[in-house]
Chain A
């Protein structure tokens, strides 16, 4: 089995650092935003829903790859912004893009670790003999959860959808390798939309806006991120995950051709790279015009890296997703 093709779709509207700086001046300027986050602009879904973004990415994949839709036997959709609590967004997408009704389909709710979890679900389905051609859609519209006056998250997140085709033929070797997972629910409160689910339904009360010590405004209906806590979590967790995964695979740092981590923000990534000891030329960072698209960042980065010639056939890649939950997962794939 292997990753056969990746395509992605970004909504049309963009917000640049200059746009944000105009709203937030004089406190923040566009150079500072770029320096810390590595982001110059991000795409925003306005009226488009998750299913529509997902469908766009999927159609692009079929068009670019030429792979026939009627051969897809399973659809996996990762999102934390479903169209509805029910029905499953994957069911809606199956209909939108015209996959066969013999196809299995379900959503799974993960963020930054979602793509790697998606790969392991696909591997399990294939290894179990239950599917051969899997469409994995990682789609996110975090900006719809974000308060316009919350600088802490508005500068970082962008919307987007990636479609990944995972295929298997008996004659081919397995190129999706070792995995490692982790979960720590103690971190749940550090990246959360507190209201709107069953634990705390939306109300007049949850819509009340407050301003934090840094001057960021939000309500319980909006995304909240404790940046320092998340940063500590990544420094605590990711280096060990990388080392354990290498050990599991019987490899060393130098044996991986390119490390593609969840594109959280440039500062965090560079801190991790430095701490783990990965050479710059083996570490991919590119979020300048996309921002943090959550579960879509890794497949988007893989696609871009490929187009830029940073990944060649036969390359050993390490993919690590980490964040909201807390949830994390890493894997090694051969391109």
Chain B
């Protein structure tokens, strides 16, 4: 999966216009970064990458790049 596809998955999870996210985008600047957005992100990462983010890991996310770094294909589920 390339960068554009991953950004697209994140945008879809957060219900954001595709193409507007960049790796350096700060999550706190996104109106959609709320509890519903976080839950959507957990679901997306679980479904596509078998990665489960715990609440403290979500709180530690600062930029879209932080999310991208968790989107590694073939991840051994970090549950």
Contact = CB atoms under 8 A, between A and B. Distances in A.
A232 interface: yes
B55 A267 contact: no
A226 B42 CA distance: 13
Interface in A282-301: none
Q: Which 8 A-B pairs have the closest CB atoms?
A: A227-B35, A36-B36, A271-B43, A152-B35, A231-B39, A229-B55, A228-B55, A228-B38
Interface of B: 15, 31, 34-36, 38-40, 42-43, 46-47, 52-55, 58-59, 79
A329 to B, nearest CB: 22
Contacts of A231: 39, 42-43
Given A226-B55, A229-B55, A232-B52, A267 B46 contact: no
Main secondary structure of the interface of A (DSSP, over half): helix
Given A226-B55, A229-B55, A214 B15 contact: no
A168 to B, nearest CB: 41
A275 B42 contact: no
Interface residues of A, number: 22
B36 to A, nearest CB: 4
11 contacts: A35-B15, A37-B36, A226-B55, A227-B38, A228-B42, A228-B58, A235-B42, A235-B46, A236-B52, A271-B43, A271-B47
B33 to A, nearest CB: 8
A27 interface: yes
A32 interface: yes
A267 B39 contact: yes
Contacts of B53: 228, 232
A268 B35 CA distance: 13
A274 B34 CA distance: 23
Interface of A: 27, 32, 35-37, 151-152, 213-214, 226-229, 231-232, 235-236, 267-268, 271, 274-275
Contacts of A226: 55
A135 B52 CA distance: 41
Given A27-B31, A35-B15, A226-B55, A274 B47 contact: yes
A258 B59 CA distance: 37
A304 B49 CA distance: 36
B41 to A, nearest CB: 9
A268 B43 CA distance: 9
Nearest to B41: A228
